[in-house]
Structure 1
Amino acid sequence: MTSGRPLTYSAISSYSRVEILNRIQRKPQRTVADIVTATALHPNTVREHLQRLIDDGYVVAETEHRTTRGRPRVLYSAADGQSTFSAVQQRKVKDAAQRGDLMRRVLPGAPPELEPDALHQVDALVEDLIDAGFDPIVDETNLTVDLTPCAQAEAQAEHRDVLCAVHLGLMQAVLAQAGGPLALDGMRTSCDPRDCVIQLMFASQRG
């Protein structure tokens, strides 16, 4: 499945943004000062990276509610599609579902194996992965998403754990935002860091 849209420079193609997003995913409501301390990046650089992540729907900003005097801080959290929502992310999910429905109407093929809500989750996930620079192959029967070869893992081998954690968090957020029965089960392990197969599951099967 392809989106039919021009390729764009991914917000998470920069490892600095990946590192910032990883820290925000692990602990929400971070300030610029928090991130500067954790990453040693210049405050203006952090602000630029955060704005790019906000523009792509990965991060949301909110103004701190204060009951004392002083300028309220801006707090940054990852858009997880459950407790924190991004209007950009919501629009992306809706647009992906519409494009997916259109493609299934005009392209011949076997009837889909998944129900519409699950299909829309897959539509949103595939488009987000394409935007991130992947070429996903979906197996609706086995509920897998094959991202092999993972060029990002090879190029940033020393940061593979952080990259994988961020990408898995983003995938779960997309599935949650799209709404439906599917959830992220995890990534299949492999001795080859370029191999990346994501396992989905029906949320009702969680123990």
Structure 2
Amino acid sequence: MPRRAHDYRGLTQLSRLRLLRAIQRTPGLLLSELAEIAELHTNTAREHLRVLEDEGLVRSETQPTGGRGRPPIVYLPVREADSSPAASRRVAAATASGDALRRMSPDLDSSADLGTAATHQLDALYEHLEDAGLQPDLDERELTMTLAPCPYHRAVEEDRPLVCSVHARLVQDVLTQVPGPIELRRVDPFVTPHSCVIALGMKGEATRVPRTRRPAAAPDEGH
């Protein structure tokens, strides 16, 4: 299927994921610092960061020094939608699309149970995960999203914590960008070889589902 114009490219390469994780962990790093952390040439890191910024995953700002010369540029995660034009457009498009779908199919409207704010948070999160190629399956009663098949299941074992930690932080950021009561409770990674589960919750309420654990491997035949 052709890639949609607004699908994420920034999450398709491990180098960009490493840059994004560094920014998530230590907001305000310089280009040179990020390039060193990700073990990239400065020009390569700059190009990756431009893609991440264009897609609303990070933002840059100049850091006043009070001295002469060009002020340095630092990179930060996008935690508020209005801090990034791309993130703001995504949130607006997701909520508008969700509202239009509910008008056409009232049986899909759960806002009476969850509230409008929570429903718009789920709209934004669903669109974010779908654009990232994670094919979310939302259970509005249990407040879970199953991601299957996970496009990162072929990542080598040492890269999986990187992939999971970046996406978990992005889920938190997307939920923050749309004011409402939904919050991330946990991510259950690779509950099957190809799928993960995101458990959400309403503020002030207990998580609705127990932790999903990956089933133990079946013993070899003849043992």
TM-score scaled by length of structure 2: 0.83
In structure 2, the CA distance between the partners of 1:127 and 1:110, relative to structure 1 (3 Å rule), is closer
- Displacement after TM superposition at 1:170 (Å): 0.7
For residues 46-195 of structure 1, what are the structure 2 equivalents within 5 Å? Answer: 46-81=45-80, 85-112=83-110, 113-188=113-188, 192-195=192-195
Change (3 A) 1:53 1:6: closer
Q: Are residues 189 and 153 of structure 1, via their aligned partners in 2, closer, same or farther at CA, if it must alter by over 3 Å?
A: closer
Amino acid in the other structure paired with 1:90: S
Quote the offset at 1:81 in angstroms: 2.6
Query: Which whole-Å CA distance do the structure 2 matches of 1:86 and 1:108 have between them?
Result: 32
Contact 1:185 1:199 in 2 (8 A): yes
SS in 1 for 2:176: helix
The offset of 1:189, in angstroms, is: 5.3
Using the alignment, how far apart are the partners of 1:22 and 1:172 within structure 2? 13
Give deviations 1:18-55, integer Å, cap 9, x for gaps.
Answer: 01000100000011110121122111110100000000
The letter for the 2-side match of 1:37 is E
Q: 1:161 to 1:193 in 2, by over 3 A?
A: farther
SS of the aligned residue for 2:10 comes to coil
CA distance in 1, matches of 2:185, 2:69: 44
1:15 is matched with 14
Bigger Rg, which one: 2
Change (3 A) 1:168 1:189: closer
How far off is 1:156 after superposition?
Answer: 4.3
Shift of 1:69: 2.7
User: Post-superposition, which runs of at least 4 consecutive aligned residues in structure 1 deviate over 3 A?
Assistant: 5-9, 189-193
Query: Equivalents in 2 of 1:182, 1:8: separation in Å?
Result: 24
Q: Sort the Cα spacing of 1:77 and 1:127 in 2 relative to 1 into closer, same or farther, 3 A.
A: same
Conserved? CA contact 1:154–1:193, under 8 Å: no
Q: Deviations over 1:138-160 (max 9, x none)?
A: 01110101002312133344311
Instruction: Note if contact 1:148-1:196 (Cα within 8 Å) is conserved in structure 2.
Output: yes
Q: 1:165 to 1:125 in 2, by over 3 A?
A: same
RMSD: 2.1
Task: Compute the displacement of 1:9 (Å).
Answer: 5.3
Identity fraction in percent = 38
Stretches of structure 2 that go unaligned for 5 or more consecutive residues are 207-223
Would the alpha carbon gap of residues 155 and 190 (structure 1) be closer, same or farther in structure 2, given more than 3 Å must change? Answer: closer
Give the secondary structure class of the aligned counterpart of 1:134: coil
Can you give the 5+ residue segments of structure 1 that lack an aligned partner in the other structure? none
Q: Which amino acid aligns with 1:69?
A: R
Q: Deviations over 1:187-206 (max 9, x none)?
A: 12556453300000112348
Deviation, structure 1 residue 7: 7.0
